[in-house]
Structure 1
Amino acid sequence: MRPEFEDQNEYGPFDSCDERILAVINELHHRDDPLPEDLNERVLFALELEAALDARVASISRPTALVLTRSDTELSVEQGDPASITFDCETVTVMVTPRPSTLRELRLDGWIGPEGIYEVELRSSEGSKLASTDESGRFVLEGLPGGQMFQLVIRPDESLQRDGLPAVVVTPAVRL
């Protein structure tokens, strides 16, 4: 140990050496792991949704089951489409798959179960887009900017609500 630090223990007074160490750590954090530029927008987006809706919140599901798929020549067992995201709550399951549609835009193919008619609202920092499902629960949203956070708000039709589905299901925000 250097002589100038011999009288300091781990609980010694905060000095200029400590300040320099913390300044270097701070610089490393700002350079290598900066705060997202849209952090405030994300937080406000989530708070606004919670305040505006009394809804069931679905969680992201990590599929562990294997999926049987058919190619042109044979059957194979896979983990499913790695780009797909599945959201679950007690009574509703939503699966979405983002796909490029143009140079800077995405298309979101989605399926909701149980089958039926749903209104689907995609909320992002750029506003909302609406779609309706067909009878099988399938929907498509096009013209979505890539790299944006989005959240789905699912509203089952009245007949599904009479069968016990909640009036509103909200997914967590995820990045396209």
Structure 2
Amino acid sequence: MEPDKRDQGEFEPLDSCDERILAVINELHKRDDPMPSDLNERVEFVLELEAALDARVASVYRPKELTLVRGDSELAVNQGDPTSITFDCETVTVMVTPRPSALQEIRLDGWIGPEGTYAVELRSPQGTRRATTDETGRFVLEGLPNNEMFQLVIRPDEALQREGLPAVVVTPAVRL
């Protein structure tokens, strides 16, 4: 015999059946999509950067609308250049395109907006590499190891900081 559910509204208190369903859903989440073990450290890292260094943490930008790109023989609808990675925060946008340059090495072409001069630091397990942009925000880093994680630290020059840009912008780590 089934319980009568006609009078049970959406605002009724949870019963034991609801609690069992929620427990099963909770277990599924724990098994199939667990919380990252270092989530607390990531949040603390971001908060410390933003508070202590006047830094902004950029996020990976994923376009929401489709763009047209030229294919081999005709125009095709695509999600932009699949090899480019764009990072974005409130005031700074960074786009990088990794390209093979030698055996197991990558050349990283980058552009930072708004235009101006920036110090660029690439952090990877192999160490730190530095570059400076030209006045248009373009930079190149060569001889980078293929298939390695990297993170960019961007420091606008003083003139850009006076215009309101943060002192430091840090990107999330991504794989070349």
Per the TM alignment, residue 126 of structure 1 is displaced from its structure 2 partner at its CA by 1.2
Instruction: Tell me, in whole angstroms, the C-alpha distance in 1 between the residues paired with 2:111 and 2:67.
Output: 16
* Superposition RMSD in Å: 2.8
What 5-or-longer segments of structure 2 have no aligned partner? 1-37
Which string of whole-angstrom CA distances, capped at 9 and with x for unpartnered residues, describes residues 103-156 of structure 1? 110011111111111110000111110111111111111000011110000000
Q: Which amino acid aligns with 1:121?
A: E
Counterpart position of 1:103 = 103
Per the TM alignment, residue 93 of structure 1 is displaced from its structure 2 partner at its CA by 0.5
Q: Which amino acid aligns with 1:123?
A: R
Counterpart position of 1:14 = none
**1:8-157 alignment to 2 at 5 Å?**
54=53, 55-67=55-67, 78-157=78-157
Q: Which amino acid aligns with 1:153?
A: V
What 5-or-longer segments of structure 1 have no aligned partner? 1-39
Structure 1 residues 119 and 90: alpha-carbon distance in aligned structure 2, compared to 1, 3 A threshold: same
Structure 1 residues 77 and 99: alpha-carbon distance in aligned structure 2, compared to 1, 3 A threshold: same
Per the TM alignment, residue 70 of structure 1 is displaced from its structure 2 partner at its CA by 6.5
Instruction: Tell me, in whole angstroms, the C-alpha distance in 2 between the residues paired with 1:146 and 1:152.
Output: 16
Structure 2 SS opposite 1:166:
coil
Query: What's the TM-score, normalizing by structure 1?
Result: 0.65
Which string of whole-angstrom CA distances, capped at 9 and with x for unpartnered residues, describes residues 13-64 of structure 1? xxxxxxxxxxxxxxxxxxxxxxxxxxx9xx8xx96xx67x732100111112
Q: How many residues align?
A: 132
Query: What's the TM-score, normalizing by structure 2?
Result: 0.65
Q: Which amino acid aligns with 2:88?
A: D
Instruction: Tell me, in whole angstroms, the C-alpha distance in 1 between the residues paired with 2:117 and 2:73.
Output: 35
- Give the % identical residues: 73
Q: Which amino acid aligns with 1:149?
A: M
Q: Which amino acid aligns with 2:110?
A: G
